[in-house]
Amino acid sequence: MNALLENWTPNATVINFVDEKTWPKLCQKLTPISVNYAQKLGFDAKPGSLFFAPAVENEPASVFFGVDQQDTKKSDPFQAGKLVALLPAGLYRFGDSVNDKSQATLAFLLSAYSFSDYVTTKKRKPSLCAPKEIDHLRIKRIAEAIYLGRNLVNTPANDMGPEALEQAALALAKKYGAETKKFVAEDLLHKNFPLIHAVGRAAAQAPRLVEFWHGPMDGLKITLVGKGVCFDSGGLDIKPASAMQLMKKDMGGAATTLSLAMMIMDSDIPVRLRVLIPIVENSISANAFRPGDIYPSRKGLSVEIGDTDAEGRLILADALAYAGEEPHDLLFNFATLTGAARVALGPELPPFYTDDDELAQEIFSHAMKSYDPLWRMPLWNNYDKALEGKISDLVSVTSGGFSGSITAALFLRRFVNDPSKWAHFDIYAWNPITKPGKPEGGEIQAARALYDLIERRVEERKLSR
């Protein structure tokens, strides 16, 4: 990251944003040689086009990048990220024609990410001068946290099993001086986390729950819970090979939690942060949990297993019940929970659920402003009855193929102490194709929007005192 964002220098190549309307006026300020060169190259300032103007006398070289600045509703807010693939290695800075340098810088950094831990040859990338007029430390903080989460998701399961994910969480906690606790294997049963234990007990690496706290006791109390299924075979209801291909990303909820936690802890805002990450691998062996089994939960509700491939909600159930045992102002959980969410909204737009209309509007507002899209889905109470069991308090899945994301959210709500302070995010944690700011592979969704929301809440809390 340090190599991608350097100190500002006037000698860096200037990047100018232009469109088809502003380009003719800019041509009047260029030397005839540069104008002639642009014409020969066929540069027309259309979105995504690029033109290098050579250095002249005391003026540094310039880059002219075609953007869609006129129709802001349709333009890609991360279009500056295209520059990473277009520019050769070197040092660049944004010129005065770049209106939102904060957004452009973030787009550049997020696009520059690549997962190269298993690649021998590393490709050199362009570097960017940190614009003097922006809060570049905040932008860097956000980008580094997203890098952390993406790395966790992209790492294959043979190197990112329960032990490795635990160590990643504890390393982050140690970096910021957080207090930590963990429950592993039989400790889960002794400390009353039966569902987490049941899901993960068949794996070679034991199931566990990692917990850490950070920040002042009188700070805004934020609790984050992230699903940490390091690989999901589907259990005895085994997935087909095609559905198993991306299951290393089933710990994307945990990665998102750690990314958001890093943003909060690194900013040192007065937040009393509590992080809970239930970590398992959903595997198959003689002691694997079975369809039809009934287990107690930390909440005291018995749960009949309808499908062992719906394991994420089970480990979250125990973690959410535990979360509610301490006071909090906000409780957010993140999980790659249902395929139904992708059918409804696709990979780029995660649904979220909450019973609090004001919180929902607040989340949506920050999601739109930060270009970290989220969409509210209903906790439709008429579907809640379908979760009631015949020989147990609850069933883990409902019959039929409808409303899968909603009923999963309703199941989680059963384990939340105060749903008015809770929101559930059913994320995908993956970019199927490369787009500006979103390289193909592991992705962290919702964290930037919620970081903005938490910062705002802290500021409002200060003003109200």
- Find, among 341, 319, 344, the residue nearest to 331 by Cα: 319
Question: Tokens at residue 200, please?
Answer: 């993960």
Note whether 439 and 431 are within 8 A (CB): yes
Question: 221, 313, 438, 448: which is the annotated catalytic residue?
Answer: 313
User: pTM value?
Assistant: 0.96
Question: 182, 191, 239, 457: which is the annotated catalytic residue?
Answer: 239
Give the pLDDT score at 140. 96
Note whether 263 and 141 are within 8 A (CB): yes
Distance CA 153, CA 257 (A): 12
- 185-192 CB contacts, 8 Å cutoff, 24+ apart: 192/298
Note whether 145 and 263 are within 8 A (CB): yes
Distance CA 372, CA 457 (A): 18
Q: Report the run of H or E that residue 190 belongs to, with start and end.
A: helix 186-190
For residue 457, indicate whether it is catalytic. no
Collapsed DSSP state (helix, strand, coil) of residue 274: strand
pLDDT per residue of the chain (465 residues) written in tens, 0 to 9: 665 778 888 889 999 999 988 898 888 888 888 888 888 889 999 999 999 987 776 666 889 999 987 556 667 889 999 999 999 999 999 999 998 999 999 999 999 999 999 999 888 899 999 999 999 999 999 999 999 999 999 999 999 999 999 999 999 999 999 999 999 999 999 999 999 999 999 999 999 999 999 999 999 999 999 999 999 999 999 999 999 999 999 999 999 999 999 999 999 899 999 999 999 999 999 999 999 999 999 999 999 999 999 999 999 999 999 999 999 999 999 999 999 999 999 999 999 999 999 999 999 999 999 999 999 999 999 999 999 999 999 999 999 889 999 999 999 999 999 999 999 999 999 999 999 999 999 999 999 999 999 999 999 999 987
Distance CA 287, CA 279 (A): 18
Q: What dihedral angle (degrees, nearest 10) is formed by the CA atoms of 413, 415, 419, 424?
A: -50
What pLDDT, in 10s, does the model give residues 421-448?
999 999 999 999 999 999 999 999 999 9
Distance CA 328, CA 320 (A): 12
Distance CA 370, CA 100 (A): 12
Give the pLDDT score at 2. 61
DSSP 8-state symbol, 198: H
Compute the 3-state secondary structure of the chain and give helix, strand, coil in percent, each to the nearest 5.
40, 20, 45
What pLDDT, in 10s, does the model give residues 252-301?
999 999 999 999 999 989 999 999 999 999 999 999 999 999 999 999 99
Collapsed DSSP state (helix, strand, coil) of residue 1: coil
What pLDDT, in 10s, does the model give residues 6-25?
888 888 999 999 998 889 88
List alpha helices for 227-311, DSSP H.
241-244, 252-267
Give the pLDDT score at 326. 97
- Report the 10 Å Cβ neighbour count for 134: 17
- Report the 10 Å Cβ neighbour count for 33: 11
For residue 414, indicate whether it is catalytic. no
Question: Tokens at residue 408, please?
Answer: 């999963």
For the chain, give the percent of residues with pLDDT over 70. 97
At 212, give phi and psi (nearest 5°): -150, 155
Query: In the chain, what are the domains?
Result: 5-131 (3.40.220.10), 139-464 (3.40.630.10)
Give the pLDDT score at 36. 87
Note whether 127 and 91 are within 8 A (CB): yes
List alpha helices for 283-350, DSSP H.
312-323, 339-345
Question: Tokens at residue 291, please?
Answer: 């369809």
C-alpha dist (Å) from residue 317 to 53, 148, 299, 321, 424: 59, 26, 8, 6, 12
